Structure 1
Amino acid sequence: LNTAGYASGYRGSPIATLEAALLRVGKLLAENDIRFQPGINEDLAATAVWGTQQAELRGEGKYDGVFGLWYGKGPGVDRAGDVFRHANHAGTSAAGGVLALMGDDHTSESSTTAHQSEFAFADAMIPIFNPAGVQEILDYGILGYALSRFAGVWVGLKCVKDNIESTATVDGNPDRVNVVLPTDEQFAMPVGGLNIRIDEHALEKEARLFDYKMDAVRAFARVNAIDRTITSGGPNARIGIVSTGKSYLDVREALDTLGIDEVRANELGIRIYKVAMPWPLEPEGIIKFAQDLDLVIVVEEKRALIETQLKDILFNTPHRPLVIGKRNENGATLFQEKAALEAIQIGIEIGERLLRRNLGGEELGERVAGLQRLRGNKPASPEAFTRVPYFCAGCPHSTSTRVPEGSRAYAGIGCHFMAQWMNRETLGFTHMGGEGANWIGEAPFSKRGHVFQNLGDGTYIHSGSLAIRAAVASGVNVTYKLLYNDAVAMTGGQSLDGGMTVGQMAQQVLGEGVRKVEIVTDEPEKYGANAGIPAGIQIHHRRDLMEVQKGLANTSGVTVLIYDQTCASEKRRRRKRGAFPDPDKRVFINTDVCEGCGDCGVKSNCVAVTPEETPLGRKRKIDQSACNKDFSCVEGFCPSFVTVHGAKPKKLSAETEGDDTGDKHAGIAGMLTSLPSPALPDIKNPYAMLVTGVGGTGVVTISAVLGQAAHIEGKGFGAIDMTGLAQKGGAVACHLKFAEDAGAINALRVGVGGANLVLGGDLVVTASNKVLESIEPGKTAVIVSTYEMITGAFTADPDLKVPGGALMEAISDRVRGGPLHSFDAQAYAVRLFGDSIASNMFLLGFAYQLGLIPVGADAIEEAIRLNGAAIDMNQRAFRFGRLAAHDRSALDRIAKPAAKPAAEASKPETLDEIVERRARLLTDYQDEALARRYREKVAWARSLESNHAPGRSGFAEAVARAYYKLLAYK
C-alpha cells in the first residue's frame, strides 16, 4: 500500500511529550509522508483527522489511504465528543484508519477534574484498547489501526498517566505484532464493506454500526486473541481475576507481594484474564475463562466498565460464578470508583479471599499480615509543611493577575489558575473556553456590577474569543484580562497556533464589539509605528496596571486589557538556545542595608526573592539560580538593591581541582578519576527508587539519565514522572524500577513501603506523607538534601519559615534505623558550579558511591552525554557526589559550603551579646557617640525591667534589637 499519515491534537492538551517527539522527527515524518498538524483546539483537530478518511472518496486522493492519529486529555475528549460520534458513524477508509489517544488523569494531578474517558468513547460506539505498559501502547497501536481499517471504526487507546508519562525499555520492531483478519466464516462481511462512504443517511450509518461493525470488532478481537488467559489455574481452578491496563499491572504487583507467580497461581487454582479491549468486551473468551469458576474478581480503576459487561454476558450461561469488583460479596465497597487503586490494597483483598478458602497456608497469611501492617502504618500526622505550585520566578502573572482593591476576578485554564491560592481576590473558574460566560448568568442576580476575567492567549485562540463575543452580546460589564505570554506555558512552552500578535488580537476583539482595549507591557518601547496596534489604543508600562484596570472597570460593557509579557520559563528556554535577549546584569541585595521588610517580595511576588537569616534578623537575597531577570523586585526602590553589570555566578575553577600541594593523591582531579567502584544492588527482584524534588530543578533529568543508563547496560527499566504542576515550583516525584529483564517489572508506581531508595532533592517534598509512605522502616535507604528551599507562600508571609528540624524528624521517624544520609546538596552545587541545578546530579553520585544505584558509573556518564544538556557540569556533579560519599573531607578542602548565617542566627544570644554586637556595628556605621547613645537606652530599659520584673530580660532584648534598627536605618 502507498499510504500517508496525519497526526493532530491541541497543544495545550498534550499526551505526555508526544508533540515534542513529533516535532523533533519532522524530517523523518516528511520522508514517510506523515504530516503533523497541531489543531487550534481538540474538536477541530479531531475534525481534521476525520477529513483524512475522506481523501480517497471522490477519486482525488494522492494515496491509497491516510492513517490518522488524534490525541487529547480528558477535557479534550469531552469537548470533541460530537466530532467522535459523527466521525465514527461515518467510518474510516479501508487503507487508512484512525487511532484516538485519550489521556486520562485518574487522580486529577494535572487536570481540573479526574477523568475516565472510556464511557464517552463507548457512548460514541468507539472500541477501546487499554494497554498495560509502554510496550503495549506500541503493540495495541498497530492492532488498533488494523481493527479500524477492518471494521470501519475509530479506535480509542487509553493513555493513563502511569503509562503514557512513563519510560521503559521496549521492542520497537512493528513485525512483533502479527495481525490476523477474520475469514468469511469468522465474520460475514456485508456487501459494500464497512468503510466510509460518500453519501449515506444517518440511519443507514447507525444500522451499519450496530448490525455489522460491532460484530466485526468482536470477531477481530477473537481471532487475534487480544484478551488472554494468563494462568489457567490448573485442574482445580476456582478463583478468577479479570483486569486491564494499569490495573492489570497493579494486580501482578499485588500477586508478587503475596509470593504468587504464574506457577504458584496455577497451584492455588487462580485463573487470570488480561483484557486488552475493555469495550466492547469479547464474549466467547470471557465465557470460556469463567467456566467452572466459583468467584471472579474484577479489578479496574474508576467506574465499572468490564464488570457490568461481564455480568451481562454470564447471566444466561448455565454456570454463573459470583462476580465482585466495585462491591464485595456483601454489597459493601471493595475497589472504590474514585481516585486510583493501589497494589497493596489489591493484594490484601485477593490474599484475604484465598485465606478464607484455606489456600496459601501460613506463608500467605504472613504476607497478607505484612501488607496490612504496611497499609496501617501510613503516615497519619498532618504534614509539617507543604509545597504547592506557584508562579515561576519572573512570571508575568505575578503582576498581571493583580486587581484593584475591592475588585473581584475569575480564574481560567492556564498557569494563571494558580492565582486562586494567592492573595489576588481571584476565585472560581470554568472549563476551557467558557471564561466569563458564567458571569453572563451570574450578573443579573448579583449586587456586583463588574468583574475581571483572566484569559490566557492560548485559551483565547482555542475557544475563548467566542466567550468574549457572548459577553458582548449579553451586555454585561466585564473586563477580560487577555494574558499574552507568547507560549502555551502550562504544558511545556509550545508556540501559539496561528501566531497571532497583540495587534491582531486587539483588532479582533474590537471587531467583536468590545468597548475599549488597553495594552499593558513590560516593554512599551517595543511598540513602534509598525507594531500593527489599532488606532486609539494606548500602551502602558506594567507599573501603571492598577490605574488602567480602574479605568476599564468604570467603562460600561465589555472591555479588554491585553497584558503582554513573555513567559519567564520560555525566556529561560530561549536564552539557553540563544534565541532571546539575555540582559548582562544581575540584581543582588546588600543584607547590611536590607531591613527585612519583605516589600520586594510583595511587589514582585517572585520566588527568587528568598530569606537570608542573619544575626541581625531575617533579610532577603536573590536566588541567582532561580532568577529569570524580570527585575520587578526593583520596583520597591529599596536602597539595599544593587544592580551589577557583567556579573557571572562564581563557581569553582577547573584548576582548583588539580594538585596544588605537590602530592598527586591530594589533587581532587586525580581522586575523581580513581574512585573505587561500589558493588551494585541486586536486581533479581525489581529494585524500586523514588526521586523527589521541585519542578525545574532537574529531577526528571535524573530519571531520564538512569533510564538511558539501564538501556545501555541491557537492563530492564521503567519509570513514571509524577509532575503535575510541578514545573511551576511544585512537588516532583519520579518512580523508578530496575530489573534484569523488563518483563519482571509490573506497576511502575512505588507503593506503600515499596522503595529500596528515596533520593530526596527537596526536604519538604521528601517529608510529605505520600513520599514517607513509600519508606519501609528499617529497610529503605534515604538520602536527602537539607537545604530549606522556601515556598511561594513566602512572598505573602515574610515570617514564613521552612521547619527543617521538624521535617528531618518526620523522615528519621519513618526510616527508624534504616540508612539515612542528610546534607545540603544545594550548597555544594552552588560552591562547585555556581548553580543549584547541579544538586540532584550530585545526590545521584553520592547514592551511587554508596552502592545504592543499580547501574554502572560509565553507563550513567554516557547517558548524561546522550542527554545533551549541560554535559560537563552534570558529569562533574556526578563525580563530585561520588567523592562526597567516598571522602567528604577531601571535597571539603576545596568546596566546603560556608557556614550558614542561619546557623549563627539560630544560636540564642544573651542581652550583653546582643548589645555588644550592635554597638560595634553602630560605631562602624557612624561613630562612638551613636553606640554610646544606644548602650544608654538599652541600660535604661534593662533597669526598668529589673525593677518591675526581676529575673526577666525580654523587654530589654526587644529594645536592644528595635532601637538598633532605628538608629541604623538606611
Structure 2
Amino acid sequence: MQLTHMTDIHLNDKFSLEDKYTLLEGRIVLSGIQALVRLLLDQNRADLIKGLNTGTLVSGYRGSPVGVLDINLVRNKKLLDQHNINFIPGVNEDLGATLIYGSQMAGMVSNVKYDGVLGMWYGKAPGVDRSGDIFRHANFLGVGKNGGVLAVAGDDPSCKSSTLPSQSEPALFDAMMPIFYPGNIQEVLDLGRYAYEMSRYSGLWSGFKIVTDIADAFSSVIVHPERININIPDFQYNGQPWKHTQNAKLVGHHSLPTEKEIHLGRIEAAKHFLASNEINKITFSSDKDSIGIITAGKTYYDVLEAFESLGWDKEFLNNKGIRVLKLGATFPVDSNIVKRFSENLDEIFIIEEKRSFIEMLIKEEIYNYNNKPIIVGKNDENNKPLIPGYGELTADDLSKILFKRYSSRLGVDSDNKKINIITEVDKRIYGQSLSSRSMYFCSGCPHNTSTVKLPEGDSAFGGIGCHLMAMFVDDGKAFGTTHMGGEGAQWAGMEPFVEKEHMFQNIGDGTFFHSGSLALRQAVAAKSHITYKILYNRAVAMTGAQDPDGGLDLPELTKYLKSQGVEKVIITTDDTSAYDTIEKSRWDKDIEIMHRDDIVDAQKKLKATKGVTVLVHDQSCAANLRRLRKRGLAHEPKKRIFINEAVCEGCGDCGVKSNCLSVQPIKTEYGRKTQIDQPSCNKDYSCVEGNCPSFIQVIPSEKNDKRILPEINFDPSIIPNPKKIQKDVANIFMLGIGGTGVVTVNQIISTAAFIENKKVIALDQTGLSQKGGSVVSHLKIVDNNKEYSSRVANGESDAYLVFDLLTGANPKNMAKLSTKNSTSIISTSEIPTGDMVRSTAEEYPEASFMIDLIKEYSKDSELLNATELSEHFFGSNMQANFIVIGAAYQAGSIPLSNESIEKAIKINGVAVKQNTEAFNIGRKIVSDPHWIDTIDLYRSGSLTSEPNLSSEAIKLIDSISPDEELRNILEFRTQELIDYQNLAFAKEYIGFVNTIYIKEKDLRSSSELSQNVARYLFKLMATKDEYEVARLSLKAELDSAISQEFGKSAKVSYMLHPPFLKAMQNIPILNLLPGVKSKLALGSWFKIFYVILKNMKFLRGTAFDFMAWFSNDVRKADQKALNHYKTTITENIDKIGNGEYQSLKDFSTLPDIIRGYEEVRLETMEEYYQKSDNIFNS
C-alpha cells in the first residue's frame, strides 16, 4: 500500500466539527460511521482531480453497527448534494442492494448524466445474508463504466446488539466479492478508496467489512487529496489489456460466459490490483524468521497491542524470528505476497476471530508448496483448540495465547508483567454477586403498554425491535425471536402440533414495513389463529428513531391489513380524539378504536375472533418524541406528575403498570419510596395507573418562581493545576448508563486531546445498552506514533471513571483496574435498574460494599455524589458526568489542559455554560474537599425534614432513655403517631418498644431488635387510611417541595380513585362515569375535603367510620397484621437471650413486605404471613 505521509501538521485554531468532512488536508477527528461518509466525499474529490464527474448512490438498511449511517447521510445532505451523492434508503437490505444494482446498469439503459456512477450498499450481517441473491446477480452484471461499488457489511462479533453473533466473510466470498477489512478509522478512509478503485478496475463489487469496534470508534486521522496513489496493474485477459464486460442477460446459458469472466478475469484482476497497490503488507520481518503470523483488520491491531503489552517490540520480533503479514483484503488471496511471506518459515499462525476463513484460503494456497510450513489457527498441529472460533477475541486473549505458545520456544522469561496482570485479574474474588444493569425500555416507551400487557395466561412471540426487551421484563409472557421479517410465521409451523389454540406476535412498524408484512400474509395463507400486535410508533427506535421507509399512514395501514385477509383490526391509542380530524372514508369501515387503558380487553376481542387479527397500538416513540419536543417540532404537554413521598408506600405498583425508568425507588427514613425523576420523564403518565393516592398532577407555574439555582461561589481560575500523569498512552475507561451522555463525554475529551494535537483512539461499547443498560467507553490519548487497538486492556486503566456505581462494580469492568496505576473517580449516586422499578424484592446493592470493592483494586480514588450535585446546582442530573470529568482532571488522570476541555465543551455546543460549570465543580471538589461540606444539597421531591417534636413527644421518648440509634428512630415517629391519632396512641407505641428495649438491653446489651420494632410497629400502626392520606397531603413539606420544583403558583390536582367509584367498574352504564375506571384529577379546591377528613380521624376504628364501608377488608387485614406482629414478638421475647435471637430479628423486619393500597396491599400480606411461618417453622 503506497501512502503519501505528512509531517508537521499544525492545528488551525478555528477547528470546527465540520472539518471532518470539509478539511481537505490535515488532521481531523471522526467516528467510524462518519469515516464512511467522508469516504464518499473523498472518492468524488479524487475523481474530480482525475477529470471524472461522477455521481454516487447510497442505499441499504440500518442495523448495528452501521445503524446510524443513514442519519449521518441525511444530516449532511447539503454537502453530499454538492458532490452528486444521492441517498435513497432501502425498504429492506435486498431492495437497497437492488437499487445499487440498478445504478450500475444506468449506462445500459440511457445516456448517463455523469462520467460514471458509484454505489455504496450498507447493512448489518443478517442483511448480508438476506441479500445473497441480489449480490450474486449484481456481481455477475458487473459495475458500470467509471463506476464501482462498496458493500459495507456491519459485523457484530460479540453479539452486543444482535440476536446472533456474526461474520460476513463467508457470505461475501460466496458472492465472489473481494473483501477489504479495515482495522481502524484511518483504514476506513484509505482502504475504502482502494476498494472503490479495485471495484472500478475489476468489475466486481468490493465487500467492506466493518466490525463494531471500528464503527463505534472515534479517532484522529490524516487526510490529503493525494494521500492514496492508485497503481493500475498491467493485467491481460485473452491477450488483451483487462477490461471487464457487463451482461444484463442473466438467464440460462447467457450467464455462463460471465461466470468464466468472473473466475478467470475479474478475480485475477482483483489479485493483480491488490499486489500492485500493496494492500497486503509484511509489517515485521528479518532474515532469520521461522514463525509467521497472518492476521487482518481489527485483529491485527489486537496482535500489535498484545506484542506491546508482552514487551515484544520490533527489535525483539526481529531477533526472535517472527514475521507478520497484515491483510488489508482477505479475499482474493494475493499469491505473490503469501509465497514471499511463507519462504523459510517453519510455522504460520493465522489469527482471526470467528470461523477459519483466512486459514481456509491460506491452506488452499500453500497446499502444493514444496517445504511448506505448518499452519495453525483455530487448532494447533495436534488438532487441539488454539484460537476460539466463538465469542470475542481481544488483545488480552491474544497476549495469553501468544505467550503460552511461544514463550518457551523463544526463550522468554516466564515472569512476564502482562501475563502476571492477566493472571492476577483472573484470580480476583469480587465477593457477593451484584445486580446487573440490563437494557430496559426508555421512560414512557409505548412498548411498556403494547407488549407487556396481555390477557391473563397468554404469551407473545418476540422479534426484531425494541419490543424484544419484553422477554426480559416478564418471564414467560414474551419469548422467542425470529429473523427480521419472519414474525408470526413460526406459529403457523408449530400450530398443527400443539394444544395451544392462539398466539400473540409482537412486531414494530419498522419491521412490518421492512418485510414483516410478508409473514402476516403467510399466516393468512396458513389460516393461522394469531393476533399481530403492531406498534405504530413512527420511528425505528433501535437505531436512532429514523422514519420507517416505505411506510403507510394509519388509515392506509388498516385498509392494507383488511385487504390481505385480516379478520379484525383494533387500534389502541393514548389519545382517541386525535382521529377526529381524519376523514372516515380513509379508514376501513370495520376498524374499532379503543383507548390504551383498554388494551387487554382489545386483545381478548381479537383472540376470540378466529383467523389472523391485528392490534395496532398507535403511540409515538418516547425518546424520539422527546427530541422533537426539544426542537419545538412536537407539542410539549404542560402536565407533570409528582409523587407525594409521605403517602407513597413504595409498593412498586406504578413501576409494574408503567415499566418506566423515571419511576424511581428511593431510600428514605421511612423505607423505600418512589419518586418521579423529572428530568428524564417523557410525560407518558401511565405511572398514574398505580393503585395509590400519592400521585399529584401539576401544571408548572408560568412565573419565574421556582427554586433559584445556586450561583457557583468560587473562581475557577484560581483552582491550582493538577500534576498530570505522564505516559505515552493514557488509558481512560468510562462506565455509565445508556442514554445519559457517556458517549458525548468520550467524544468531548477526544476532541480536547485532538485540539492539543494529540492522537486519540476511542471506542463506545453501547449497542442495546443504550436502552438504559450499562455502557462503557474506552479512550486512549497517545503521545507517540505507534498503533494501538481501541480497547483499554485488563489491568491497564489509568483513569477509571464511574458515572454509574453498578456498572463500575461489575467484575468484568473492574478487570480494567490496577493497584499500580488506576485512579478511580466514583460517583456514589444510587440509580435504580429496571428490575428495581418493577419489583420491591430487587434492592440496590450496598453502595459502601461496591465503593470499597472498586477502591480495593485501585491505586487512588475520589468519591462524590455527582447526581445529587448536578440536581442541586443545575436542577437536573444531566451535568453529573461532567462533574466526574472535572474531578478526574483535577486528580491528574486526564493528561490535558482544562482550557482544551472547556474549548471542546464549547465546540460541542450543547449546554455549554452548565457543562463548563459542572466540570469546574468537579475540579473544586478534588482541590478543596471541605468545600462541599459547606453546601446543603437539595434533593428533588424530598419531603423528609428534621422532626418537629412537641413537649409530649419529647417526654414520651425520654421516658425510656433510648440509646442514640433508637432515639433517632423514635424522634421521627412518635410525633407522627400523635398527629395520626392522639397521645394515647403514641404511648401505646412507646410502651411496646420499651418492653423489647428493656429485655434486649438486659440480655444482649444491644438495641438491634428494638430498632427494628420501632420502625415496623410504627408502619403497622400508622396505616394510610383515608384520614391519614388527607393529613399527609396537607403537610407543609409537600407544598414546599412542589413550589421548589414547579413554582409557587403551580396548579395542583390530586389523582384519586375513590373505592366507592371503583366498586362500579363491572356495573353497566355506571362504569362509564368519570372516576370509575380511572383516577379523577381533583383540583386544589379538594383541599377543603382533605381538611375535613383529617379532622375526622376520631372516627377511625369506630362504628361510625364511614370511610371503611368500601375498604373494610383492608382495614380488618391491617388490624390482623398489627395484632399478629405484636403477639409474635411478645410470645417470642424470651428468645432474645438464646440462639433464636436472629430469627426474632428476621421476623421483626417482615412488615417491610406489607406495602401499597387495596388489592396490592392484601397480596403483600399473604407473603408476610408465609415468610413468618417459614422463619419460626424452619
Equivalent runs, 1:753-832 vs 2, <5 Å: 753-803=795-845, 804-815=847-858, 818-832=859-873
Q: What SS class does the counterpart of residue 837 from structure 1 fall into?
A: coil
d(CA) in 2 for partners of 1:473, 1:521 = 29
Deviation at 1:805, TM superposition (A): 2.8
1:40 maps to which residue?
A: 91
Inter-CA distance 39–729: structure 2 relative to 1 (3 Å threshold): same
Among candidates 483, 488, 493, match of residue 441 of structure 1? 493
8 Å CA contact 2:249–2:255 kept in 1: the answer is no
d(CA) in 2 for partners of 1:948, 1:820 = 42
Q: Greater shift after overlay, 671-680 or 111-120?
A: 671-680
d(CA) in 2 for partners of 1:256, 1:371 = 14
1:963 maps to which residue?
A: 1021
Q: What SS class does the counterpart of residue 552 from structure 1 fall into?
A: helix
Inter-CA distance 750–378: structure 2 relative to 1 (3 Å threshold): farther
Equivalent runs, 1:308-319 vs 2, <5 Å: 308-319=360-371
2:1116 maps to which residue?
A: none
8 Å CA contact 1:934–1:964 kept in 2: the answer is no
8 Å CA contact 1:8–1:37 kept in 2: the answer is yes
2:280 maps to which residue?
A: 227
d(CA) in 2 for partners of 1:722, 1:196 = 42
Q: Does 1:115 align with 2:170?
A: no
d(CA) in 2 for partners of 1:281, 1:371 = 38
8 Å CA contact 1:16–1:165 kept in 2: the answer is no
Deviation at 1:922, TM superposition (A): 2.5
d(CA) in 2 for partners of 1:941, 1:335 = 65
d(CA) in 2 for partners of 1:441, 1:333 = 38
Aligned-pair Cα RMSD in Å: 2.8
Inter-CA distance 563–853: structure 2 relative to 1 (3 Å threshold): same
Per-residue CA distance 1:311-364 (angstroms, 9 max, x = gap):
22222212211221111233211111001212123223323444323445x4x7
d(CA) in 2 for partners of 1:947, 1:555 = 71
Deviation at 1:717, TM superposition (A): 0.2
Inter-CA distance 949–54: structure 2 relative to 1 (3 Å threshold): same
Q: Does 1:707 align with 2:707?
A: no
Per-residue CA distance 1:347-403 (angstroms, 9 max, x = gap):
23323444323445x4x7534642552453356756312110011111111111110
8 Å CA contact 1:452–1:479 kept in 2: the answer is yes
Q: What SS class does the counterpart of residue 853 from structure 1 fall into?
A: coil
d(CA) in 2 for partners of 1:190, 1:864 = 59
8 Å CA contact 1:92–1:153 kept in 2: the answer is yes
The amino acid of 2:718's aligned partner reads: S
1:660 maps to which residue?
A: none
Q: Does 1:384 align with 2:439?
A: no
8 Å CA contact 1:739–1:745 kept in 2: the answer is no
d(CA) in 2 for partners of 1:508, 1:863 = 50
Equivalent runs, 1:28-107 vs 2, <5 Å: 28-107=79-158
1:859 maps to which residue?
A: 900
d(CA) in 1 for partners of 2:707, 2:874 = 6
Q: Greater shift after overlay, 845-854 or 576-585?
A: 576-585
Q: Does 1:656 align with 2:711?
A: yes
Q: What SS class does the counterpart of residue 107 from structure 2 fall into?
A: coil
1:202 maps to which residue?
A: 255
Name structure 1 gaps, 5 residues minimum: 658-666
2:1048 maps to which residue?
A: none
Per-residue CA distance 1:847-872 (angstroms, 9 max, x = gap):
11111112221111111121122222
Q: What SS class does the counterpart of residue 584 from structure 1 fall into?
A: coil
2:580 maps to which residue?
A: 528
Deviation at 1:80, TM superposition (A): 0.9
d(CA) in 2 for partners of 1:651, 1:326 = 65
Among candidates 347, 353, 377, match of residue 325 of structure 1? 377
Q: Greater shift after overlay, 709-718 or 921-930?
A: 921-930
Among candidates 609, 612, 621, match of residue 567 of structure 1? 621
2:194 maps to which residue?
A: 143
d(CA) in 2 for partners of 1:962, 1:929 = 16
8 Å CA contact 2:653–2:838 kept in 1: the answer is no
8 Å CA contact 2:296–2:330 kept in 1: the answer is yes
Q: Greater shift after overlay, 637-646 or 688-697?
A: 637-646
8 Å CA contact 2:969–2:1014 kept in 1: the answer is no
Q: Does 1:839 align with 2:894?
A: no
Equivalent runs, 1:693-772 vs 2, <5 Å: 693-741=736-784, 743-772=785-814
8 Å CA contact 1:451–1:479 kept in 2: the answer is yes
Deviation at 1:411, TM superposition (A): 0.9
Q: What SS class does the counterpart of residue 101 from structure 1 fall into?
A: strand
Deviation at 1:845, TM superposition (A): 0.7
Equivalent runs, 1:521-670 vs 2, <5 Å: 521-530=573-582, 532-636=586-690, 638-646=692-700, 656-657=711-712, 667-668=713-714
d(CA) in 1 for partners of 2:180, 2:917 = 45
Q: Greater shift after overlay, 823-832 or 193-202?
A: 193-202
Per-residue CA distance 1:502-536 (angstroms, 9 max, x = gap):
11211110110100001100111111142543223
Among candidates 121, 128, 142, match of residue 179 of structure 2? 128
8 Å CA contact 1:738–1:745 kept in 2: the answer is no
Q: Greater shift after overlay, 491-500 or 335-344?
A: 491-500
8 Å CA contact 1:828–1:895 kept in 2: the answer is no
Among candidates 903, 912, 922, match of residue 977 of structure 2? 922
1:662 maps to which residue?
A: none
Q: Greater shift after overlay, 312-321 or 152-161?
A: 312-321
8 Å CA contact 2:235–2:269 kept in 1: the answer is no
Q: Greater shift after overlay, 922-931 or 486-495?
A: 922-931
Q: Greater shift after overlay, 641-650 or 426-435?
A: 641-650
Deviation at 1:822, TM superposition (A): 1.9
Deviation at 1:35, TM superposition (A): 0.2
d(CA) in 1 for partners of 2:706, 2:364 = 69
8 Å CA contact 2:513–2:551 kept in 1: the answer is no
8 Å CA contact 2:887–2:926 kept in 1: the answer is yes
1:282 maps to which residue?
A: 334
Inter-CA distance 781–950: structure 2 relative to 1 (3 Å threshold): closer
The amino acid of 1:965's aligned partner reads: T
Q: Greater shift after overlay, 855-864 or 441-450?
A: 855-864
1:489 maps to which residue?
A: 541
d(CA) in 1 for partners of 2:133, 2:659 = 42
Deviation at 1:934, TM superposition (A): 5.0
Per-residue CA distance 1:160-184 (angstroms, 9 max, x = gap):
1111110010123242111111114
Q: What SS class does the counterpart of residue 294 from structure 2 fall into?
A: strand
Inter-CA distance 121–410: structure 2 relative to 1 (3 Å threshold): same
1:664 maps to which residue?
A: none
Equivalent runs, 1:249-328 vs 2, <5 Å: 249-328=301-380
2:1142 maps to which residue?
A: none
The amino acid of 2:485's aligned partner reads: G
d(CA) in 2 for partners of 1:933, 1:874 = 54
Deviation at 1:840, TM superposition (A): 0.5
8 Å CA contact 1:56–1:64 kept in 2: the answer is no
Deviation at 1:42, TM superposition (A): 0.5
Q: Give the TM-score normalised by structure 1.
A: 0.93
d(CA) in 1 for partners of 2:333, 2:755 = 40
Percent identity (aligned): 39
Q: Which has the larger radius of gyration?
A: 2
Deviation at 1:918, TM superposition (A): 2.5
d(CA) in 2 for partners of 1:333, 1:691 = 34
Deviation at 1:721, TM superposition (A): 0.3
The amino acid of 1:398's aligned partner reads: N
The amino acid of 1:482's aligned partner reads: I
d(CA) in 1 for partners of 2:915, 2:905 = 7
The amino acid of 1:921's aligned partner reads: E
Deviation at 1:637, TM superposition (A): 5.7
Q: What SS class does the counterpart of residue 293 from structure 2 fall into?
A: strand
Q: Give the TM-score normalised by structure 2.
A: 0.77
Q: Greater shift after overlay, 849-858 or 409-418?
A: 849-858
